[in-house]
């Protein structure tokens, strides 16, 4: 039985016993934070049905992120999947049998609705991308989406992954999803809780309508059986023959002793490259390819990988561009195949065309639809690092600010002996008076961020400390976990003298900053994908006379392709305004009145490391050296993540 037929049958059986939607509320508490949500009605409906819950009895958190395992729970409840008949051994290594989502994930996998992320993992704890949400829900619809990518009209349709385009196109055509105000779908962005609620409710309504409008079978009247005709006299035996075409087969048998013909198998198996993965090993150990369940549509098919380079750059696979195939073995009963060595490749990007050949000799097409692109980065086996980075406390200084503004610490080049070492700041109180640093005398550390490639530490928020003398121990911990010693050689002593700020300090408040024309203090960007341009706005809190705004972040680099706008007038950014290897941008000589909006326009910003970064913004209303020479500060968040 085809998968979508199975799903529709499952839903039909569920619909016969209880509708997907109840018309009566079940008395659930009303969420207090959904009044302004565009998905309010859908949230209430799903809550009344017992399909979704809030983060508390009265809060739903509509803009909050949703994890893959929580979406599986919603899907299982909405479709009334059988969660009682699940395997005792987990299918995915990151979803143990004692997980609250175990039964839902296993039921969704058995129904053909949910897939893993590769390497035997489901992706538990990861967020759900908008395109993956739509792909899963379209599977639940049981609709043939083949070729529906042609229906896509979103401006960013090119950013939709190939495996999701047909499903997203079908969903757009059916009206289940719409673009944002710029007609963009944003496929890689994480789906928030209200988006899942709204989209799921539309799909469930469509499923119910689809099932309830299917015509019932026309009853066939019973008839009396007619008497069997008398058998005709048997003809004289014909000479024996071995031909298979000596009689008609219209009556269900062949005459003249013929042997019924068996249709030849001319259909090639299919290969799903989205379910084929690679093991990137260090030099001396061969790299490997392997396929999870569903990678190949037939059991016993020989899987091959043809190294391919598009020599004529026409975007098509030409036969003379394929090298000798690497045989990966035969597919197993579930369509998977075990890991097979493909060679000890150096670091780089490689392309393979994957095919499968069945027992009848039918090989799947060698075309770009079967392209597997892999990026190998492991080369020489790393040497075990057992040496801690050095710390030179003479190259650190503290920036003393008035009360209400965080004090800062900064390290000059050479302050830390390694790049990307995490610098820690331990407050030390010599409680026993022996003038020796003892472990129990150190407070919990303040983590100041990673060191730069030159061993420096950019100005980093310390604390809002009152005037006085302080002693801290500074250490650095490298990527291997080696931390420099906590001893007297690494004690950093400093004094702060600034207390309450004078009345003429700039009045710029942190609430005046926000991304994309909003008051959002966090910007989510994607690793390894193209990011859409975005903006950062600042509203002048007072009149600026030769004022300054400085932006600093390790998340990405500023370039001359960025720009800014003041009072609707665009300005370009010059090389002299960028410093700190591209991580600091300074806008000088700003002259404008209070309430003016300064919009920083940033292009496609990339970062290979998935983590949260700080962006520090310093503002001075009248430049350095004047009465208002102190800075107002703000801290925003840049979060690079992978959606889906």
CATH of 273-376, one of 2.130.10, 1.10.10, 2.60.40, 2.60.120: 2.60.40
Whole-number Å distance between alpha carbons of 244 and 259? 5
Contact 185, 202 (CB under 8 A): no
Whole-number Å distance between alpha carbons of 187 and 168? 9
Which residues, in sequence order, are CB contacts of 26 under 8 Å at separation 6+?
48, 49, 50
pLDDT in tens, 210-228: 666 555 554 444 444 444 4
Mean pLDDT along residues 431-435: 93
**Domain 510-641 of CATH type 3.40.50.300:** no
Q: Which of 126, 177, 129 is nearest to 153 (CA)?
A: 177
Does the pLDDT of residue 620 top 90, yes or no? no
Which residue ranges make up each domain of the chain? 3-212, 273-376, 393-496, 510-641
User: Does this chain's domain 273-376 share its CATH topology with 393-496?
Assistant: yes
Cα atoms found within 13 Å of the Cα of residue 422, Cβ hemisphere only: 12
**Domain 393-496 of CATH type 2.40.128:** no
Burial class (CB in 10 A: 0-12, 13-18, 19+), 225: exposed
According to DSSP, the β-strands at 522-526 and 468-477 are: unpaired
Using DSSP, state whether 193 is helix, strand or coil: helix
Tell me the CA distances in angstroms from 390 to 237, 425, 444, 476, 543, one per residue in order: 103, 14, 21, 7, 46
Identify the pLDDT of residue 29.
58
Q: Which of 363, 377, 356, 350 is nearest to 273 (CA)?
A: 356
Q: Spell out where 90-138 has E strands.
A: none
Does the pLDDT of residue 366 top 90, yes or no? yes
For the chain, give the percent of residues with pLDDT over 70.
82
Name which of 8-22, 49-63, 99-113, 423-437 the model is least confident about. 8-22
Mean pLDDT along residues 539-562: 87
Which helix (H) or strand (E) segment holds residue 135: the answer is: helix 130-141
If one counts every other C-beta atom within 10 angstroms of the C-beta of residue 610, the result is: 12
What is this structure's pTM? Answer: 0.35
Q: For the sheet containing 612-620, what is the strand order? A: 522-526, 632-641, 612-620, 544-553, 584-592, 578-579
pLDDT in tens, 305-358: 999 999 998 989 998 899 999 999 999 988 999 999 999 898 899 999 999 998
Using DSSP, state whether 580 is helix, strand or coil: helix
3-state helix, strand, coil in the chain (%, to 5): 20, 25, 55
Comparison of pLDDT for 26 and 274, the residue scoring more? 274
Tell me the CA distances in angstroms from 130 to 413, 516, 615, one per residue in order: 43, 20, 27
Q: Tell me the pLDDT band of 383, cut-offs 50, 70 and 90.
A: low
Q: Tell me the pLDDT band of 256, cut-offs 50, 70 and 90.
A: very low
Reading the block at residue 218, the tokens are 């026309």
Identify the pLDDT of residue 514.
81
Does the pLDDT of residue 61 top 60, yes or no? yes
Identify the pLDDT of residue 420.
92
Contact 423, 370 (CB under 8 A): no
pLDDT in tens, 162-188: 888 999 999 898 888 888 878 899 988
């Amino acid at each position: 039985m085809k998968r979508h037929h199975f799903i529709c049958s499952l839903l039909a059986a569920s619909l016969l016993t209880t509708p997907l939607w109840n018309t009566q509320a079940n008395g659930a508490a009303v969420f207090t934070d959904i009044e302004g949500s565009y998905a309010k009605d859908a949230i209430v409906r799903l809550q009344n049905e017992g399909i979704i819950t809030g983060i508390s009895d009265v809060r739903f958190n509509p803009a909050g992120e949703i994890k893959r395992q929580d979406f599986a729970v919603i899907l299982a409840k909405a479709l009334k999947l059988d969660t009682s008949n699940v395997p005792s051994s987990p299918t995915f290594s990151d979803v143990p049998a004692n997980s609250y989502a175990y039964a839902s994930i296993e039921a969704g996998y058995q129904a053909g609705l949910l897939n893993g992320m590769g390497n035997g993992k489901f992706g538990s704890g990861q967020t759900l991308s908008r395109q993956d949400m739509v792909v899963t829900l379209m599977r639940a619809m049981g609709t043939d989406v083949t070729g529906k990518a042609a229906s896509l009209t979103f401006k960013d349709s090119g950013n939709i992954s190939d495996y999701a385009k047909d499903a997203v196109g079908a969903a757009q055509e059916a009206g289940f999803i719409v673009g944002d105000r710029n007609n963009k779908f944003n496929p890689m962005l994480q789906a928030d809780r209200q988006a899942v609620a709204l989209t799921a409710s539309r799909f469930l309504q469509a499923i119910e309508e689809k099932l309830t409008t299917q015509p019932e079978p026309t009853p066939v009247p019973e008839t009396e059986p007619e008497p069997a005709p008398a058998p005709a006299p048997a003809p004289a035996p014909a000479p024996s023959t071995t031909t298979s075409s000596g009689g008609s087969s219209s009556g269900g048998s062949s005459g003249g002793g013929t042997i019924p013909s068996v249709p030849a198998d001319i259909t090639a198996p299919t290969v799903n490259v989205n379910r084929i993965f690679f093991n990137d090993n260090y030099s001396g150990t061969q790299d490997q390819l392997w396929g999870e369940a569903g990678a190949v549509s037939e059991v016993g098919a020989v899987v091959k990988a043809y190294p391919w380079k598009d020599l004529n750059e026409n975007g098509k696979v030409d036969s003379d561009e394929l090298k000798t195939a690497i045989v990966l073995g035969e597919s197993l009963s579930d369509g998977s195949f075990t890991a097979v060595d493909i060679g000890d490749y150096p670091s780089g990007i490689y392309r393979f065309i994957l095919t499968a050949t069945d027992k009848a000799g039918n090989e799947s097409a060698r075309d770009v639809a079967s392209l597997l692109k892999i990026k190998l980065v492991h080369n020489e086996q790393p040497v075990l690092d057992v040496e801690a980075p050095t710390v030179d406390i003479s190259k650190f200084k503290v920036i003393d600010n008035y009360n209400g503004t965080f004090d800062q610490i900064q390290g000059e080049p050479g302050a830390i002996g390694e790049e990307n070492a995490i610098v820690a700041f331990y407050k030390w109180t010599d409680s026993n008076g022996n003038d020796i640093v003892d472990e129990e005398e150190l407070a919990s550390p303040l983590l100041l961020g990673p060191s730069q490639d030159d061993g420096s530490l950019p100005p980093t928020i310390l604390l809002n400390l009152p005037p006085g003398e302080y002693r801290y121990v500074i250490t650095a911990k490298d990527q291997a976990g080696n931390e420099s010693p906590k001893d007297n050689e690494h004690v950093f002593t400093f004094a702060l003298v600034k207390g309450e700020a004078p009345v003429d300090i700039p009045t710029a408040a942190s609430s005046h900053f926000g991304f994309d024309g909003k008051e959002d203090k966090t910007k989510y960007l994607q690793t390894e994908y193209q990011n859409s341009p975005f903006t950062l706005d600042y509203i002048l809190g007072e009149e600026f006379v030769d004022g300054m705004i400085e932006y600093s972040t390790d998340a990405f680099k500023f370039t001359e392709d960025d720009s800014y706008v003041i009072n609707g007038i665009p300005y370009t950014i010059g090389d002299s305004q960028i410093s700190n290897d591209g991580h600091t941008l300074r806008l000088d000589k700003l002259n404008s009145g209070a309430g003016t909006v300064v919009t920083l326009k940033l292009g496609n910003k990339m970062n290979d490391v998935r983590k949260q970064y700080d962006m520090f913004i310093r503002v001075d209303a009248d430049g350095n050296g004047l009465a208002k020479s102190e800075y107002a500060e703000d801290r925003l968040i840049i979060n690079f993540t992978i959606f889906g």
